[in-house]
């Protein structure tokens, strides 16, 4: 076997492998032996037919393809060792010629990351003060949650809930078709299309209406932006919300001792969510700054894997998994392949963020000891008593345990960087 290699762009190595005729012949013999064991010929038990008859039956091409299945991975592994290439993922292999067998492998290797002057970055975390207005809006939502629906004999108003048959289509393409649908008539509602709720105002029970509406030019699903749809609505019942009075009994139903206690809990919850949101915004700015001033080179396979990871994350939002996602994309007139490409920029940024953070962790010697890891697993187990043993068993296995360690290192590094760029590290 003859091998040559050369470094190419994006942290990859082009590995060229040419097989000797004797080596090729050896794999062809092995391939025929495998096929003999799998093929059943009339008059012979499975695996007992003479090799000459099996060869005539399956043909030379089948034997060649069977030989390749064993030859390519084994020859590749041997070539990688002989050329001292440290591969980080599966290669992309292309057969160049059949006689002699020559193939080319594009091998992804370790990324190369040079962080910029990250210690010179200066950022601030924004702050938000929770106001009485914020608290009042949350109490109003609780009122709606605990309120009851009462049938009324009047025209529809904003805030009502109606029972209706709703149809929406463009030519033969249906966007909504629901019988006895409960629809909340909110002025700011974007469902099923912005402006839909306003068309219903004033209608009474047993009224029917038809109208056309277009999706706005900046609608999030680009395929239906600016498209006009025909809607028909038959109102079957109109209900208004009967809201409870805000008093101590109301507060107790909401899990508090009194109204003041309820307001304090709401304020604390809103502050916590606001702080978390502002922290995420800050971390995004920080990561963007790190990426912008760093030199980051990596093989494209990392982006492909991240796209697959994002798609799997999205699929978990559907009861039937990836099939549900495919149906959703189909309704949006988009293929999985198109969605795959749409995710490429975000996946690339994720990869860069991970690589630069890991590199800084390495430079700053940020690690997670085994006892820290075990403590984290135990905290997760205690937080979910019903799944505690399953959690412990999962993180007792090498791959999940090391994935958790990586995540904890990332978190510790972000904490360090946050203190660094906000000036807290010096303090």
- Spatial CB neighbours of 209, under 8 Å, sequence gap ≥ 6: 199, 200, 203, 232, 233
The mean per-residue pLDDT over the stretch 97-122 comes to 94
Cα angle 223, 228, 233; round to 5:
120
- Give the C-alpha separation, 329 to 308, whole Å: 16
pLDDT of 425 reads 66
The mean per-residue pLDDT over the stretch 391-417 comes to 95
The mean per-residue pLDDT over the stretch 301-305 comes to 95
Rounded (10°) CA dihedral 318, 320, 322, 328? -60
Percent of the chain whose pLDDT exceeds 90? 73
pLDDT of 426 reads 61
What confidence category does residue 151 fall into, taking pLDDT thresholds of 50, 70 and 90? Answer: very high
- Give the C-alpha separation, 168 to 177, whole Å: 6
H helix or E strand, kind and range, residue 78 = helix 60-82
Q: What does pLDDT average to over the chain?
A: 92
In this model, does residue 218 exceed pLDDT 90?
Answer: no
Domains of the chain, first to last: 2-110 (3.30.70.1050), 148-242 (3.10.50.40), 257-421 (1.10.3120.10)
170: nearest Cα among 385, 15, 333, 285: 333
17-71, pLDDT tens digit by residue? 999 999 999 999 988 888 888 888 888 888 888 888 888 888 989 989 999 999 9
In this model, does residue 172 exceed pLDDT 80?
Answer: no
- Give the C-alpha separation, 33 to 145, whole Å: 71
The mean per-residue pLDDT over the stretch 155-176 comes to 89
In this model, does residue 427 exceed pLDDT 60?
Answer: no
What confidence category does residue 189 fall into, taking pLDDT thresholds of 50, 70 and 90? Answer: confident
342-396, pLDDT tens digit by residue? 999 999 999 999 999 999 999 999 999 999 999 999 999 999 999 999 999 999 9
H helix or E strand, kind and range, residue 15 = strand 12-18
pLDDT of 320 reads 86
The mean per-residue pLDDT over the stretch 243-258 comes to 92
Cα angle 131, 241, 134; round to 5:
5
> Starting at the edge strand that comes first in sequence, how are the strands of the sheet with 12-18 ordered?
2-8, 12-18, 102-108, 92-97
């Amino acid at each position: 076997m003859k091998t040559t290699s050369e470094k190419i762009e994006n942290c990859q190595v082009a590995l060229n492998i040419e097989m000797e005729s004797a080596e090729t012949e050896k794999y062809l013999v092995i391939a025929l032996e495998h096929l003999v064991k799998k093929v059943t010929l009339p008059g012979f038990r499975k695996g007992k037919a003479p090799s000459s008859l099996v060869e005539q039956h399956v043909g030379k091409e089948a034997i060649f393809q069977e030989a390749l299945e064993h030859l390519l991975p084994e020859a590749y592994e041997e070539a990688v060792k002989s050329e001292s290439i440290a591969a980080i993922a599966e290669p992309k292999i292309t057969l160049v010629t059949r006689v002699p067998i020559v193939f080319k492998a594009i091998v992804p290797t370790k990324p190369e990351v040079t962080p910029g002057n990250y210690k010179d970055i200066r950022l601030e975390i924004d702050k938000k003060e929770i106001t009485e207005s914020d608290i009042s809006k949350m109490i109003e939502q609780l009122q709606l949650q605990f309120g009851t629906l009462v049938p009324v004999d009047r025209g529809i108003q904003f805030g009502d809930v109606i029972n209706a048959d709703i149809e929406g289509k463009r030519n033969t393409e249906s966007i909504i078709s629901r019988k006895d649908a409960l629809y909340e008539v909110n002025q700011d509602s974007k469902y099923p299309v912005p402006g839909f709720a306003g068309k219903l105002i004033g209608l009474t029970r047993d009224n029917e209406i038809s109208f056309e509406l277009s999706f706005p030019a900046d609608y999030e699903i680009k395929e239906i932006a600016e498209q006009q749809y025909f809607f028909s609505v038959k109102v079957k019942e109109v209900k208004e919300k009967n809201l409870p009075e805000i008093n101590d009994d109301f507060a107790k139903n909401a899990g508090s001792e009194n109204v003041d206690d309820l307001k304090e809990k709401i304020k604390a919850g809103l502050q916590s969510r606001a702080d978390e949101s502002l922290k995420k915004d800050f971390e995004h700015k920080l990561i963007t700054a790190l990426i912008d001033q760093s030199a980051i080179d990596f093989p494209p396979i990392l982006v492909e894997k991240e796209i697959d990871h994002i798609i799997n994350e999205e699929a978990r939002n559907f009861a039937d998994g990836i099939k549900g996602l495919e149906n959703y994309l189909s309704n949006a007139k988009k293929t999985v392949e198109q969605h795959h490409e749409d995710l490429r920029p975000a996946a690339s940024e994720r990869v860069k963020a991970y690589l630069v953070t890991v590199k800084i962790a390495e430079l700053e010697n940020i690690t997670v000891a085994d006892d820290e890891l075990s403590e984290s697993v135990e905290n997760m187990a205690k937080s979910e008593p019903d799944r505690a043993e399953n959690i412990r068993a999962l993180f007792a296995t090498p791959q999940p345990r090391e994935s958790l360690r990586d995540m904890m290192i990332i978190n510790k590094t972000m904490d360090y960087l946050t203190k660094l760029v906000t000036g807290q590290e010096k303090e």
